[in-house]
Amino acid sequence: MLDKKVTELLNQQINKEFYSAYFYLDIANYYESMNLDGFANWFKIQAQEERDHAMLMYQYLHNNNAKVTLDAVSKPEKVFSDKVSPLKATLEHEIFVTSLINSIYSAAFEKKDFRTMQFLDWFVKEQGEEEKSAMDLIAKMRVLGDGANSLYQLNSELGARTYNPPSLAL
């Protein structure tokens, strides 16, 4: 039986993961409006990953006879003014999500809930990868700039991204 606080935090995280999906779809929409389909592709895949993260937590709660509570998902409110601001917002958001995962892990550790800690190990590693991906995108934009040739090259690179669903055994 999962601890009440750990269950509550996991339920909150499900909501945050669905919010993250909305957030990344909003960014994809922004880039679509600029005809940067490669950037849009990268963020649509990012949104799919976030939905899958939510569903992994959903299934974990069900597998442990814990109640799943689905709350309303907030509308993303960020307004972007240039091509790099969504990338910076992505890094900021991923750092925030890392802090949330760490809070759940801390609560599980406090309760000696080793099963949940083991489940969260994958998310801890994933967050490191997410932060690095966001930093890499920002660095590429800084190095390449937003000239036509550079944008074409980066847009093509981001357009080649494909989706690989997580393979986390629950």
Query: d(Cα 104, Cα 116) in Å, to the nearest integer?
Result: 9
Share of the chain above pLDDT 70, in %: 98
pLDDT tens digits, one per residue of 98-153: 999 999 999 999 999 999 999 999 999 999 999 999 999 999 999 998 889 999 99
| 61 close to 2: Cβ distance less than 8 angstroms | yes
The arithmetic mean of pLDDT across residues 41-53, rounded, is: 97
Helix (H, G, I), strand (E, B) or coil at 141: helix
| 13 close to 60: Cβ distance less than 8 angstroms | no
Q: Rounded to two decimals, what is the model's pTM?
A: 0.94
With a CB cutoff of 8 Å and minimum separation 6, the contacts of 82 are 146
Query: d(Cα 107, Cα 17) in Å, to the nearest integer?
Result: 19
